[in-house]
């Protein structure tokens, strides 16, 4: 049983190493896709006051990582990125501060 598991992992690594160019292209495709998801959510503005300025993602539950512009999420798959963003509501910085009274200028 354990032998079979080892074998399949080796096979997957071999496939990844075989085509580094495609791997790089896939990384860029994922980045573009995540950016599109990100922008789509932000396009609705703050879910509380409707403001379109200083928008942030406020986690409602199970925060695994911060979602913010300029935040490197290259290691995260599109599926995981989407799942994380699904746990958030878009809030402007002012409304976000109301949710996190301890927050000063830092985005949580
Ligand atoms: Zn707001």
106 three-class SS: coil
Residue 104 is assigned to a structural domain of this protein: no
Residue 108 is assigned to a structural domain of this protein: no
Residue 73 is assigned to a structural domain of this protein: yes
Residue 17 is assigned to a structural domain of this protein: yes
Residue 63 is assigned to a structural domain of this protein: yes
Mean per-residue pLDDT of the chain: 85
Using CA atoms, how far apart are residues 40 and 22, in angstroms rounded to an integer?
Answer: 27
**Domain span at residue 85?**
2-99
**Domain tally, the chain:** 1
Q: Which residues surround ligand 1, an ion (CB under 5 A)?
A: 46, 48-49, 51, 92, 95
10 Å Cβ neighbour count for 96? Answer: 21
Using CA atoms, how far apart are residues 68 and 46, in angstroms rounded to an integer?
Answer: 14
pLDDT tens across 52-95, in order?
A: 999 999 999 999 999 998 899 999 999 999 999 999 999 999 99
Please give the distance, rounded to the nearest whole angstrom, from the Cα atom of residue 104 to the centre of ligand 1.
16
Residue 105 is assigned to a structural domain of this protein: no
Tell me the whole-structure pTM to 2 decimals: 0.72
Residue 33 is assigned to a structural domain of this protein: yes
Average pLDDT over residues 23-48: 94
Please give the distance, rounded to the nearest whole angstrom, from the Cα atom of residue 91 to the centre of ligand 1.
5
26 three-class SS: helix
Residue 67 is assigned to a structural domain of this protein: yes
Question: Among 88, 89, 107, 87, which Cα is nearest to 97's?
Answer: 107
2 confidence band (pLDDT: 50, 70, 90): very low
């Amino acid at each position: 049983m354990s032998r079979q598991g080892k074998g399949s992992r080796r096979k997957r690594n071999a496939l990844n190493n075989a085509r580094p160019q495609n791997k790089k292209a896939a990384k860029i495709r994922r980045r573009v896709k995540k950016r599109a998801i990100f922008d789509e959510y932000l396009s609705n503005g703050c879910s509380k006051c409707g403001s379109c300025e200083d928008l942030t993602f406020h986690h409602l539950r199970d925060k695994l990582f911060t979602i913010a512009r300029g935040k490197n999420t290259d290691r995260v798959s599109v599926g995981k990125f989407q799942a994380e963003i699904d746990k958030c509501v878009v809030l402007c910085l002012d409304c976000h501060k109301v949710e996190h009274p301890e927050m000063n200028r830092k985005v949580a």
